Structure 1
């Protein structure tokens, strides 16, 4: 029997609310999602190229990519709450260190690397670890609620960051982010971990299907799943990190660009909510492919446009950010349905690490292309090609290996197949 059937509604609500609040205050939102708004202020003050600032973001994402698989293995030993508290304190301290930083690229890069490495406890690799214990039949909807709620908070936070940057400068904005991390992560730690969210799941209520970690890692199609995640991250994360400077380069006022960034944030929220609601009804491989192709079209249009009104770029950003949001739901959902419950946290950590690594490559690609060509056009085209590649790879995963056991589920062909009985732990 699953925790979805036995846990009280208030308990399940606490799990979802705590995860969403933790994601808003965590590394992915406060550092990575806001990085694009810091590009011009910091490079302008220190006289850096954008590739140097991109290296800072890449250092952080590489640190996070390295740390995420370890976080996935530490959750069963220490629990999500302990990792959240530890990483949250370090994240707040890191923002203070950025606020007093000298104009040395090496200082920024090293600090960013250790920020990403040591704050993985505030990322989806940890905060989404317990969700499948309480939601299995409606896992897609639960993931969409968590990630969608976090995206709304992210969109609002981007507006606040843009205003603070304009009024007080980047150093004060980093101090603001330190406070955001303390408040949101503190509330998440207090609220979001009711009984049943400890280091090990309750064998009587939590799903126990699927192989152990070592066997799961030998699944022949796991590289395909991770490859699709990697390609989609290249296509979405790099464009997201450079969206604000790209729009400003088209002659748009910085504050208007921040407003367009908020539209992108709404696209992320919509992608997470809509995708989450559909994942329980539509095959994830088909849904992901459609979303990625729409995003690729938006990137191609943005690359081909002459300087246009900000609303046009906002529409393109919405399409790309919708896919970015959708992938946040797709990664944990695909891991759960193809790997099972027993190895879920470990493989999810690897999946999040692959996603951040792809995002790092995409981010530095955009910076290098701009410094080399004086334009983001070739990078936008390459990102669209990566998304198209992810669409193709998804089609080779086949039907779910561990679907919800309560009823029929869609296969990638669109037909339904009978759900097999859960394997014993």
Structure 2
């Protein structure tokens, strides 16, 4: 029996509304999961001043914590991606959330020894790899195909929600309860809600297959037929390496800016309260950026959408150079930074799935997310070193503008992705 290519494509490609009918709860749970992973990065700038005053720690020391955690997730990310391909997201995410809650709460026990700060971040990096972007992205891209861009946008907007909510919330908790209890409230409150949603709603292709087998009592061999590159093929793929380099450059610069954005604003003479509200603007813009970018990725050539968006982040660095005192320009810079920088993980996940397929997506995207984690560790250290050595953030901001332009160009020049549905 002969089946036309169009018919096969229609059968293989789910209708978008059916995907959302079956998967919107999964997107909700995954979005909260990624927001919980992001709270420590979003809150670090808030804790720099109180910890620096109480213990006399430098910006470099305080920046080293997130750097250590992200380097740990960079090392463990590819191995964890293999586990996702084998066991699925649900079985790994639930215990990971519990471990991460405990890790966040223990930051309130620091007594001034720098080794404690470093050790706690080491532990946080060790356990938080279980709830990094790989696990949520893998769950969503395995279920969504027709509306993958928008689904990823909503999922990864979790980090933007954290960026929008954590600055004012964290500053309030520090002011009212002290920095020690602020860590506890963030861990138990945000983490508890996340665990409940993931427990109720996070069912990816692996858990759905297991459920089908349990209901029918038939071993559904091949029920999950995933197409794509082998790991060896991915290693030799030029497009994936080009995407990886862009990913690393842009993430290094934008994460350095994100972690130091709060002190950059206070160094310019803005009060902590206003700086917290201004920082939240970036989070709101990031939510808009993820949703708009997701819509555009589903409809236009993804490398042009992604490349232009990443290159636009250079504008935020340029506007913040030389301690700009104009409130209007500061707000514009924060909106640009939030919109463009907030799409990095989204664009990387979408393009990785497009160029690699889903056969070994966990392992391949695990490598990509490892690079993002490594860059997230290098960026804050680079910005902190620039401040400590030059007395300001000017050199880092100039380097950031150049880096984002290069990263955007690398994505724009990517070749057209293969069609794995038709393969």
TM-score, normalised relative to structure 2: 0.89
1:48 to 40, 43, 57: 57
- Distance across 2 between alignment mates of 1:378 and 1:234: 14
Q: CA deviation at 1:257?
A: 0.4
1:388 to 377, 395, 405: 405
- Distance across 2 between alignment mates of 1:199 and 1:49: 49
Q: CA deviation at 1:153?
A: 5.0
Q: Contact 2:84–2:362 (CA<8 Å) still a contact in 1?
A: yes
1:271 matched residue in structure 2 = 289
Q: CA deviation at 1:82?
A: 1.9
Residues 376 and 200 of structure 1: is their aligned pair in 2 closer, same or farther, counting only changes over 3 Å? farther
Residues 175 and 213 of structure 1: is their aligned pair in 2 closer, same or farther, counting only changes over 3 Å? same
1:249 matched residue in structure 2 = 267
1:128 to 137, 146, 154: 137
Residues 14 and 197 of structure 1: is their aligned pair in 2 closer, same or farther, counting only changes over 3 Å? farther
Gaps of 5+ in 2: 1-10, 211-219
Alignment of 1:198-347 (within 5 A): 198=207, 208-309=226-327, 311-347=328-364
Q: CA deviation at 1:5?
A: 4.3
The answer to whether residue 23 in structure 2 is matched with residue 12 in structure 1 is yes
Encode CA deviations 1:313-362: one digit per residue, 9 max, x unaligned.
Answer: 23212211212211121011011111111021111111111112112111
* Runs of 4+ in structure 1 over 6 Å off: 199-205
TM-score, normalised relative to structure 1: 0.89
The answer to whether residue 176 in structure 2 is matched with residue 167 in structure 1 is yes
- Distance across 2 between alignment mates of 1:386 and 1:378: 12
The answer to whether residue 53 in structure 2 is matched with residue 36 in structure 1 is no
Stretch deviating more after TM superposition (47-56 or 178-187): 178-187
Q: Contact 1:148–1:272 (CA<8 Å) still a contact in 2?
A: yes
Stretch deviating more after TM superposition (241-250 or 211-220): 211-220
The CA RMSD measured in Å over matched residues stands at: 2.2
Q: CA deviation at 1:67?
A: 2.0
Q: CA deviation at 1:273?
A: 0.9
Encode CA deviations 1:6-61: one digit per residue, 9 max, x unaligned.
Answer: 96744311111111121122x2x121122111111111211111011111111111
2:86 matched residue in structure 1 = 77
2:8 matched residue in structure 1 = none
1:358 to 356, 364, 375: 375
The answer to whether residue 206 in structure 2 is matched with residue 189 in structure 1 is no
2:104 to 56, 79, 95: 95
Residues 402 and 109 of structure 1: is their aligned pair in 2 closer, same or farther, counting only changes over 3 Å? farther
Encode CA deviations 1:349-403: one digit per residue, 9 max, x unaligned.
Answer: 1111111211211110100000111111111111111111102222342111236
Q: Contact 2:174–2:182 (CA<8 Å) still a contact in 1?
A: yes
Encode CA deviations 1:99-130: one digit per residue, 9 max, x unaligned.
Answer: 01121222111220221122112111111212
More helix by share: 2
Residues 35 and 2 of structure 1: is their aligned pair in 2 closer, same or farther, counting only changes over 3 Å? farther
Q: CA deviation at 1:217?
A: 2.5
Residues 344 and 13 of structure 1: is their aligned pair in 2 closer, same or farther, counting only changes over 3 Å? same
- Distance across 2 between alignment mates of 1:199 and 1:70: 23
1:158 matched residue in structure 2 = 167
Q: CA deviation at 1:289?
A: 2.1
1:411 matched residue in structure 2 = none
What is the number of equivalent residue pairs in this alignment? 403
2:75 matched residue in structure 1 = 66
- Distance across 2 between alignment mates of 1:397 and 1:203: 36
- Distance across 2 between alignment mates of 1:296 and 1:154: 19
1:373 matched residue in structure 2 = 390
Q: Contact 2:97–2:191 (CA<8 Å) still a contact in 1?
A: yes
1:409 matched residue in structure 2 = none
Encode CA deviations 1:234-273: one digit per residue, 9 max, x unaligned.
Answer: 1211101100001001111101100011101112111111
| Partner-residue secondary structure (3-state), 1:194 | coil
